[in-house]
Amino acid sequence: MTDVIKKFKCFYQDHSAKAKMGATRRFTRSKWGNAICCLFIIAAGLFTMLPLIYAVATSFKPLDEILLFPPKIFFVRRPSLENYAAIPTLLSDQNVTLSRYIFNSVFITFITTLVHIIISAMAAFGLSKSKFKWRNALFMIVQFALLFNAYTLSVPQYIIFSKIGVIDTYWAYILPQLATTLGVFLIKQYIEGYVPDAYIEAATIDGASYFGIFFRIILPLIKPVLLTLLLFSFRDVWAMIPQGTIFSENIKTLPMVMSQIASGGIARSGSAMAVTVIMMIPPVIVYLISQSNVMDSMSSAGIKE
Amino acid sequence: MKRLNNKKTKSYSLLKNQWQMLVMMAPFFILFFFLLIVPIISSLVLSFSSYDMLNPARFTGIDNYLRMFVSDDVFPSVLKNTIVIVLITGPAGFMLAFLLAWLVNEFTPTVRTFLSFLFYAPSLAGNAFFVWKVIFSGDSYGYLNSFLLNLGLVTEPITWLNDETWLMPIVILVQLWQSMGISFLSNIAGLQNVSRDLYEAGSIDGIRNRWQELWYITLPSMQHMILFSVVMQIQSSFTVSTITTELAGYPSVGYSVDTIVSHMTDVGSVRFEMGYASAIAAILFLLMAGTRIILGKFLKILGR
């Protein structure tokens, strides 16, 4: 029992060691307090993870196990890939192959995320290091506009989109994301926090242009926040279901296909979960790549008024 | 040599090079202007007109707003639904995220990373809320139904997603499940950034326990970070619409979970009543901006 407690203790930061090093003394909790906190964390972890585990389990169930009554929820007796294999045939009545949807999703997500990161970083650089008088006012507007996402603006943007004729084209996916301000906001706060003016001044004295400074000095310095934005932007675009701006089957993306399959009832729930699992993989990979940077760069993201 | 020459003209080059800054800022701000500022202003203007995108807009005064609150049977219920969702998932989501971040922050970095992944996974997985559709499936194969049938708690499967009494709790649960992530991440990042010196000074100044430490040191120094996650919560909870349309369809049974955004999309991009849809958008903007301003002021007072 003491072994278990010891093992368990090693998960907590050893505040006493820090105190010896002259750092902060922290308060300890009672045993009961610790137990309650751990139970709470476990409960929350189950709440977030169980549905996802259920999705993975169901995606590997052959049809007879899905239809088994009473259903075995997490237990798969004979895991099979038939749900995954069935996805292309489920779409055969659409005249569009699965590969087309995959291409659309990948293409749109790649282009949008890339352009979003670049233009946001450039705008944020200007907002934080230029000498224009109105840049603070502009930043206040950008900061306030954090409130509005693509869903809030769907109808007002629809009018603009139909005027410029981009309804039912790839642009209808790309443009709404480019105008969101989370990127500019995060990068601007990060530059303020981590890139001293002295760097820029030194480089200007050395005769570098602002373009040069941006590409050679700023971009490498702000890599953590760029990776953070990569995560957020990728996640949003990848999962986006446009509100009434896309009609043609051949430019639809995976989330829209997923919603079509998921509405197919119990017999299709295996395939619906298979698409869900496939859809989960890319954002998880992006998260694993960027996660060590997320904490660093988010900590400068406070809104100051 | 080059360096010396340039030093003389430093102030000139600073001014001269500012156009490069303008060029770099231009792409984003042009898009920002045309896709965010113009839509917001034009929807405020169009909200006083009748406009179907084919014929020119006709000025109709406050007819749209009258219609919204007097003759449109659906608007009051979508307004009520949105407010219920916001009032519950907003504060609950934030508090849950903060509490979890506060607890998780005490673990070693490895465990912290792992737990962060667990709590962020639902928002990461984007449209994974489809799994709830299977869980709450209305026949006896639905996860929850078979579970309850097995336990003998119910005798007949409940059609969760076609039942007015259950739809709202389900939507709230799924929204909480899905939206907690970014609040959690920003809270935990903020917690790690609170200066250790402050805690030390606090313990000298007579702070006795964790709760005092939280109230007098942690929360005030995280004020800006909290406002950020509050803004993110407002953004996501006011615009719940994909979840409701995918889980319950549009319209849902008895309009019991349709939100302002799903109604606005229906009026606008399906029925092309752009004047009326703009009025709904205008109300949505005002509600969101109002909530944002009030909470900002409130946090400022708390931070003192």
* Domain residue limits, chain B: 65-303
Distance of CA B18 to the CA centre of its chain: 36
Looking at the fold, whether A41 and A179 belong to one and the same domain comes out as no
The nearest CA of chain A is from the CA of B224 a distance in Å of 4
Looking at the fold, whether A133 and A41 belong to one and the same domain comes out as no
Whether A70 is in a domain gets the answer no
Whether A56 and A83 have beta carbons less than 8 Å apart is answered as no
pLDDT tens readout for residues A89-104: 777 666 788 888 889 9
Whether A42 and A48 have beta carbons less than 8 Å apart is answered as no
Q: Is the pLDDT of residue A10 over 60?
A: no
Q: Average the pLDDT over B134-152 and give the result.
A: 76
B contact residues 45-104, partner A, Cβ 8 Å cutoff:
46, 53, 96, 99-100, 103-104
Distance, in Å, from the CA atom of A230 to the CA atom of A177, rounded to the nearest integer, reads 13
Confidence band for B194, pLDDT divided at 50, 70 and 90: confident
Q: Is B11 on the interface with A (CB under 8 A)?
A: no
Would the CB atoms of A205 and B46 count as touching at under 8 Å?
no
Looking at the fold, whether A112 and A230 belong to one and the same domain comes out as yes
Report ipTM for this prediction.
0.86
Q: How many domains does chain A have?
A: 2
Q: Is B212 on the interface with A (CB under 8 A)?
A: no
- Indicate the residue of B115, B140, B268 with minimum beta-carbon distance to A155: B268
Whether A75 is in a domain gets the answer no
CATH of the domain at A195: 1.10.3720.10
Exposed e or buried b per residue across B35-68, where buried means at least 16 C-beta atoms within 10 angstroms of its C-beta = bbeebbebbbebbbbbbeeeeebeebeebbbebb
| pLDDT at B287 (0 to 100) | 93
The residue from A34, A59, A84 where one domain ends is: A59
Looking at the fold, whether A158 and A277 belong to one and the same domain comes out as yes
**B65-303: which CATH number, 1.10.3720.10, 3.40.50.1980, 2.40.50.140, 3.20.20.30?**
1.10.3720.10
Whether A64 is in a domain gets the answer no
| pLDDT at B1 (0 to 100) | 41
Range scoring the smallest mean pLDDT among A158-172, B75-89, B151-165: B151-165
- How many pairs of residues across A and B have Cβ atoms under 8 Å apart? 330
Looking at the fold, whether A137 and A258 belong to one and the same domain comes out as yes
The nearest CA of chain B is from the CA of A118 a distance in Å of 9
Q: Is the pLDDT of residue A22 over 50?
A: no
Looking at the fold, whether A34 and A174 belong to one and the same domain comes out as no
- Indicate the residue of A13, A159, A184 with minimum beta-carbon distance to B274: A159
Whether A304 is in a domain gets the answer no
Confidence band for B4, pLDDT divided at 50, 70 and 90: very low
Looking at the fold, whether A169 and A256 belong to one and the same domain comes out as yes
Distance, in Å, from the CA atom of A26 to the CA atom of A20, rounded to the nearest integer, reads 12
Which domain range does residue A145 map to? Answer: 92-298
- Chain B neighbors of A272, CB-CB under 8 A: 130, 133-134
Looking at the fold, whether A123 and A217 belong to one and the same domain comes out as yes
